[in-house]
Structure formats: C-alpha cells, structure tokens
Amino acid sequence: MDAAPKLFSALTLLLVGSWHLGSTASNYNCDDALVSSLPPTAFDSSSEFLNAHSPSFAKLNRRDGAGGWSPLESNQQQWLQIDLGDRLEIAGVATQGRYGSSDWVTSYTLMFSDTGRNWKQYRQEDSIWVFIGNTNADSVVEHKFLHSMKARFLRFIPLKWNPNGRIGLRVEVYGCSYKSDIADFDGRSSLLYRFNQKLMSTFKDVVSLKFKSMQGDGVLFHGEGQRGDYITLELQKGKLSLHINLGDAKLRFSNSHTSVTLGSLLDDQHWHSVLIERFNKQVNFTVDKHTQHFRTKGDSDHLDIDYEALCAHGPAFNPPCH
C-alpha cells in the first residue's frame, strides 16, 4: 500500500469478547468449569427414567440420585439441556456415563442457543460435528473446541449408547465470561483498546469482532510495536485485508510483511464476522466462515506491540501502511 487508507464515513463494530493475548508470562485461559455450581433449575431434558435419573443429577463426577441423567426411552430424540445463566464463551465439554451402571453415551452432537428456543448445531469444518463419547460409566472424555462458541443454552443430543444399557450422562462445560460492546464510528472518532501492561509480547492472539459499513475502504484496527511489529485489519474496495509482521524495524521497510485478503462486497451494511487466530507464525484468518491458513514472514514467533491498539480511526490517526 502506498498511502494511508480512506477514513470511514460510517462504520459499526460489534466487539465480540476481547482481544485475547497469550504471552510467555501468562497464557489466555478459557477453561472454567461452568456446570458444577449451577442450581437444579438450570437443567432440563426431553424425559427422565425416574425422579432419581433427573437432569439435575447430570454433573460430572457427582453420584447424587441414581448417578446421572437417563431418559425414559433410549432413542435419538432425547436431549439433556443446560442453562448457563448468561451468554458465555464455551471452549469445550466433558462427559461421563451414569455412575456405577451400564449406561453411557458413545457419540453425541451439540446444539446451542441464546434464547432456549432457536437452536443451532455445533459445526466444524462446515459439517455437523459428532463427538466421541464414553466406553464405560466413569471415565471422563473431554473435547476442546477448535473454535469456541457463544451461547447461554447448550443441548447434548445422544446418537449412540452402550447397546447393553441405556443412555446415561454426566457432563461438564468449560469456558469463561463473555462481553460484547457496539461502537459506531463516523470518520472523526476511534476506539482505543488498552492492554494490562505497557508492552505485550505474545505468541498467541485471538481477535474476534463483527462489523458493518457502507464504506469500502478504511482501517478497522491497528497495533504496532517499537521494534517494528504490527498488525492491521482494513477494508480495501470492499474486501478485508490482514497485514501482520513479526520482525524488527530493519525488516519493516524491506517488504517483509505478510498480507492476506478475504471476502468481497463487505461494505453492504450487513454484519460480517471476523476471527483472527495466531499461534507463533501460523495464522487462521476467517471472514464469514471462510478461512485462509497462512504462515507469517518475519524473524520472530512473537508479536510485540505497545500497550494499546486502535479500532477504526479518524483524521487524528494516520497509521503507517505498507
């Protein structure tokens, strides 16, 4: 790029969660146990075999009641539902069978919802994902999601179970709190994101946001460091470009940066989702479920940036573009 991109005349950003940074000092963790402290009213199911098999007994490693949930009949129309109480980021799940029994689930799918009425199925690689379950009643089988989901309600849908027993489940859900904010930019304003420390040196970054715009050109966010590292996300003629450099200042002007472009017609005033996941030099760049995998240039595995990043910008901000 030879010149700074044009300013947005109208842009709306939905900042989904936060910029999660994994540094050498403290890694980003989103693995809190979300189910163990929930009240009985947070559990629901399609049916229950007896009162002692109710869904409220479906907590991992618990032996209350009959030692877990079992439905009245074992078929693929049964489900176990968890109300997490708020919209949270969900990063993984774990299952067990019903304690001390022959009842366990060998495969299942997941559905999630914000309302408990409209449901979506968890998908991976553009397909409904089938999770491998248990081979006995008491071993714990965990699954960490490739991409986390945001939801309040979660449903476990058994597909197969021990042929010599019934459907039996105890579950845990892992994740963390989630917050979203909406900001509108008119070309004369910007949003400053400040980190907890003056200089961030990270090997893992996760940036997640949604935006809509009527302008085809402009910077969505930009961050840079004193030694020459930078990361920039911008619209160029309705396409979204990610520019990133992991290197020192002497490489910055030698065409060592990496640029990747995705999408088209993104200035259509509709919401578009963006997810950037970096681990060392490996980057997954996703725009509206279309993902490009690439490896960055530069002489380092770390991204060193100053303690703040700018989301969108106005005339007062003119980031260097390359």
- Is the separation of the CB atoms in 53 and 69 below 8 Å? yes
Where does residue 156 rank: exposed (0-12), middle (13-18), buried (19+ CB within 10 A)? buried
Residue 200 lies in a domain: yes
The two tokens of residue 285 are: 């760049």
Report how far residue 220's alpha carbon sits from residue 15's, in angstroms, rounded to the nearest whole number: 11
Report how far residue 231's alpha carbon sits from residue 224's, in angstroms, rounded to the nearest whole number: 6
Residue 320 lies in a domain: no
pLDDT of residue 320: 34
pLDDT of residue 42: 98
Report how far residue 23's alpha carbon sits from residue 44's, in angstroms, rounded to the nearest whole number: 39
Segment 289-316, tens digit of pLDDT: 899 999 888 677 777 776 556 665 443 3
Select from 212, 118, 103, 210 the least CA-distant residue to 166. 103
Three-state secondary structure call for residue 76: coil
For the ranges 231-235, 269-273, 317-321, the maximum mean pLDDT occurs at: 231-235
Q: 305 and 206: one domain?
A: yes
Q: What percent of the chain has pLDDT over 70?
A: 75
Residue 3 lies in a domain: no
Which ranges of the chain would DSSP assign to H, the alpha helix? 249-252
Residue 186 lies in a domain: yes
- Is the separation of the CB atoms in 80 and 90 below 8 Å? no
pLDDT of residue 23: 37
CATH number assigned to the domain comprising residue 133 = 2.60.120.260
CATH number assigned to the domain comprising residue 250 = 2.60.120.200
Query: Among 137, 160, 176, which residue terminates a domain?
Result: 176
Q: 262 and 155: one domain?
A: no
Where does residue 260 rank: exposed (0-12), middle (13-18), buried (19+ CB within 10 A)? middle
Report how far residue 3's alpha carbon sits from residue 17's, in angstroms, rounded to the nearest whole number: 31
- Is the separation of the CB atoms in 140 and 99 below 8 Å? no
pLDDT of residue 226: 75
Residue 276 belongs to what domain range? Answer: 11-18+180-311
Residue 321 lies in a domain: no
- In degrees and rounded to multiples of 5, residue 56 shows phi and psi of -65, -15
Neighbours of 162 (CB within 10 A): 21
Which DSSP state fits 251? Answer: H
Where does residue 62 rank: exposed (0-12), middle (13-18), buried (19+ CB within 10 A)? middle
pLDDT of residue 269: 76
Report how far residue 97's alpha carbon sits from residue 133's, in angstroms, rounded to the nearest whole number: 9
Segment 24-78, tens digit of pLDDT: 333 457 889 999 999 999 999 999 999 999 999 999 999 999 999 999 999 999 9
Q: 191 and 293: one domain?
A: yes
Q: 67 and 119: one domain?
A: yes
Query: In DSSP terms, which residues pair with 273 in a beta bridge?
Result: 210
Segment 241-282, tens digit of pLDDT: 999 888 654 544 555 688 999 998 888 878 888 988 888 889
Tell me the pLDDT band of 121, cut-offs 50, 70 and 90.
very high
Query: Among 114, 148, 176, which residue terminates a domain?
Result: 176
The two tokens of residue 287 are: 């725009």
The two tokens of residue 206 are: 């996760």
Q: 306 and 202: one domain?
A: yes
